[in-house]
Amino acid sequence: MNEIKPHLSYKGQINKLRGKGCIIDDDSFCRDVLVNIGYYQFITFMSDHIGVRPPLRFLFREGQAQIIVNLHKNGFTPEQIASATNKTLEDVNDILFSKDETHCS
């Protein structure tokens, strides 16, 4: 008989990401992403669209702009990104459409 895995709290999901080698400096930003995107969709996104496989190397605080850019490049609207993060729509648009390309590789 298959066991049903218990639902993990967001703190538990963040700890699971850390256990896979994910570097998370901003728990609040990570929680916002997990609340709005979901753990499995996030892991799939990381694997399929960014090419990152476990162990994940993902620095939330310093990499927020790059994450936002990558989410947008892969079909998320600025409004969806703003609702999934702790950024305002204005902040997201500033990151996505700024002339400063230092965070876009």
* For residue 11, pLDDT beyond 90: yes
pLDDT band for position 47 (50/70/90)? low
pTM exceeds 0.75, yes or no: no
* For residue 54, pLDDT beyond 70: no
Q: How much of the chain, in percent, has pLDDT values that exceed 90?
A: 8
* For residue 82, pLDDT beyond 60: yes
Q: Give CA–CA dist 104/91, Å, rounded.
A: 15
Lowest mean pLDDT among 11-20, 48-57, 73-82: 48-57
